[in-house]
Amino acid sequence: MFQRCGFADADADLQDASYAVVGLPFDGTASFRSGARDGPDAIRLASFNFESYDCNYDIDLSELAICDLGNMDLGADPVYAEETIKEGIALLPRDAVPIFLGGEHSITPPIVDGLVQKGLGSLGILVLDAHLDLRDAFGCTRYSHACASRRILETKGIGAYACIGIRSGSREEFSFAKEGGITYYTSRDVDERGINDVLDRALEWLNCERLYLSIDLDVLDPSFAPAVGNPEPFGLSSWDVSRAVDRIAPQAVGLDINELTPAYDHGETALLAARLARQFIAAKAKVSAVR
Ligand SMILES: [Mn+2]
């Protein structure tokens, strides 16, 4: 009679969980549209639109052990949020694959650091993003969403890094990427070569057994995902991102979906975010079932 109000089909207890949904409601460094702090709950609400059965993977999410831990209390200070996220990840059981619902993109560096600290080994980090996010600081803080990839690259213990969907950054950021040999693929690369070819190249570069996937929803064209902090035209399609999830999920130790700003949504961006999270779980569960 009483429905749970977390992520749909996430009714397992943490000690039994194979998948742990964690909300990170932080938007303290938003530079254009704020409101990503409301992202996790909007994704949860949207998740109830979908069947528990994934017909592509022949996996029923209601038969999986998924736990929704709720939201971390992150406040508005980026330093506090970063430390809290790291502390929270240390408490997660190693057997549960975390699915982090953002929150702005500044949540990703402490997630990556927290996962490395758990001794998961050398992680290949794949970021889907319109923006390079390679600034050393932005808006008086090094913890800004505009510095996310720069901080990820500084994280000790990660394997390789690549990003796909790039179409925005300062001249200094592009110079930094080129001089530093940072692997990035533009949305034009995806348009010209196709997502599968770009993913082939990115995965070959990452060359890691374990991967981490960070989806900044602004990687998508605003026609697919309008409700993001910094929308950028000429982006990827929902099919492109779906294929990336299919390819990465089997090797992934975790996922984050960030930058949803629900106040600018008619529901379509939250629905896509929820669907991608569910697809990630189904794709991973399919591989686990075969093994
Ligand atoms: Mn971005």
Centre of ligand 1 from the C-alpha of residue 129, in Å = 5
SS3 222: coil
Centre of ligand 1 from the C-alpha of residue 86, in Å = 22
Q: What is the DSSP letter of 49?
A: T
Centre of ligand 1 from the C-alpha of residue 199, in Å = 19
CATH number at residue 188: 3.40.800.10
Q: Could you tell me which residues come within 8 angstroms of residue 47 by beta carbon, excluding any fewer than 6 positions away?
A: 7, 8, 9, 274, 277, 278
Total domains in the fold of the chain: 1
Residue-level pLDDT at 54: 98
Centre of ligand 1 from the C-alpha of residue 35, in Å = 15
Centre of ligand 1 from the C-alpha of residue 127, in Å = 10
Whether 22 is in a domain gets the answer yes
Alpha-carbon distance of 277 to 257, in angstroms, equals: 8
Name the nearest CA neighbour of 273 among 225, 232, 229.
Answer: 225
pTM: 0.97
Centre of ligand 1 from the C-alpha of residue 168, in Å = 8
Ion ligand 1, residues whose Cβ is below 5 A away = 129-131, 216, 218
Whether 122 is in a domain gets the answer yes
Domain that holds residue 48: 14-290
Whether 3 is in a domain gets the answer no
Residue-level pLDDT at 2: 65
Rounded to the nearest 5 percent, the helix, strand and coil shares of the chain are 45, 20, 35
Whether 7 is in a domain gets the answer no
Is the omega angle on the peptide bond into residue 6 within 30 degrees of 0, that is, cis?
A: no
The tens-digit pLDDT sequence of the chain (291 residues) is 666 679 999 999 999 999 999 999 999 999 899 999 999 999 999 999 999 999 999 999 999 999 999 999 999 999 999 999 999 999 999 999 999 999 999 999 999 999 999 988 789 999 999 999 999 999 889 989 999 999 999 999 999 999 999 999 999 999 999 999 999 999 999 999 999 999 999 999 999 999 999 999 999 999 999 999 999 999 999 999 999 999 999 999 999 999 999 999 999 999 999 999 999 999 999 988 775
